[in-house]
Chain A
Amino acid sequence: MSGAGLTRERTLLLFPALLLLALVVAVPILRVVQLGFHRVELDGGIALHWAGLEPYARLWQDGRWWGALRNTAVFTGASVALELVLGVAVALLLHERFRGRGLARALVMVPWALPTAIMALAWAWIFNDAFGVLNDLLGRLGLVRGPVAWLGGPGTAMLALVVADVWKTTPFVALIVLAGLQGIPEPVLEAARVDGLSAAQRFRRVLLPLLGPSLLVAVAFRAVQAYGAFDLPYVMTGGGPGGATETVSLYAYRNYFRYLDFGYGSAVAVQGALLAALLAAALMGLAGRRGRVRA
Chain B
Amino acid sequence: MSGGANARPRATGALRALALAAVLAWSAAPAVWQALTALKPDAQITRTPTVYLPSPPTWRHVQALWDRKPFGRYLANSAAIAAAATLLCVSLAALAATAIARLPGRGREGTLLALLVVSLFPPILLLFPLYEGVRALGWVNHPLALVLPFAALNLPLAVWVLEGALRALPAELDEAGRLDGLSALGRLRRVHLPLALPALATTAILVFIFCWNEFMLSLTFMTRDAAKTVTAGIASVSGASLHEIPWGQLSAAIVIATLPLVALVLLFERRIVSGLTRGALKG
Chain A residues engaging chain B, CB cutoff 8 angstroms: 1, 4-6, 9-11, 13-14, 16-18, 20-21, 23-25, 27-29, 31-32, 35, 46, 89-90, 92-93, 96-97, 102-111, 113-126, 128, 130-131, 133, 136, 139-140, 151, 167, 171-172, 175-176, 178-180, 183, 186, 189-190, 193, 199, 202-203, 207, 214, 217-218, 220-221, 224, 227-228, 230-231, 234-235, 238, 248-249, 252-253, 256-257, 262, 265-266, 269-270, 272-273, 276-277, 280
Contacts and interface: CB of A to CB of B under 8 A. Distances in A.
Contacts of A125: 33-34, 37, 247, 250-251
B182 interface: no
Contacts of B125: 28-29, 32, 269-270, 272-273
B49 A17 contact: no
Contacts of B184: 1
Contact of A118 (B242, B258, B280): B258
Given A113-B262, A114-B213, A125-B250, 17 more contacts: A10-B102, A10-B103, A13-B98, A20-B92, A25-B121, A90-B23, A96-B5, A106-B265, A113-B272, A131-B47, A190-B2, A231-B216, A231-B235, A266-B128, A270-B125, A272-B124, A276-B121
A10 B99 contact: yes
A113 B128 contact: no
B49 A136 contact: yes
A114 B283 CA distance: 24
A14 to B, nearest CB: 5
Contacts of B235: 117-118, 120-121, 231, 234-235
B65 interface: no
Interface in B85-131: 92-93, 95-96, 98-100, 102-104, 107, 118, 120-130
A203 B1 CA distance: 7
Nearest to A203: B1
Interface in B19-41: 19-20, 23-24, 26-28, 30-31, 33-34, 37
Contact of B121 (A29, A116, A171, A220): A29
Contacts of B133: 28
Contact of A122 (B34, B49, B212, B281): B34
B149 A116 contact: no
Contacts of A16: 92, 95-96
Contacts of B270: 102
B231 A175 contact: no
A114 B129 contact: no
B27 A175 contact: no
B28 A217 contact: no
Given A20-B151, A172-B276, A235-B238, A113 B209 contact: yes
A69 to B, nearest CB: 13
A128 B241 CA distance: 12
A14 B273 contact: no
B257 interface: yes
B227 interface: no
Interface string B210-221: 001111100010
Contacts of B179: none
A35 B127 CA distance: 12
A272 B122 contact: yes
A102 B269 contact: yes
B79 interface: no
Nearest to B282: A217
Interface string B242-272: 1100010011001001100110111001101
B121 A122 contact: no
A256 B131 CA distance: 11
Contacts of A111: 27, 30-31
Contacts of B50: 131, 133, 136
A175 B93 CA distance: 23
Contacts of A4: 102-104
Contacts of B220: 257
B273 to A, nearest CB: 6
Contacts of A90: 23
B64 to A, nearest CB: 17
Nearest to B124: A249
A228 B283 CA distance: 19
Contacts of B122: 224, 227-228, 248-249, 269, 272-273, 276
B152 interface: yes
B33 A118 contact: no
Contacts of A121: 234-235, 237-238, 250, 254
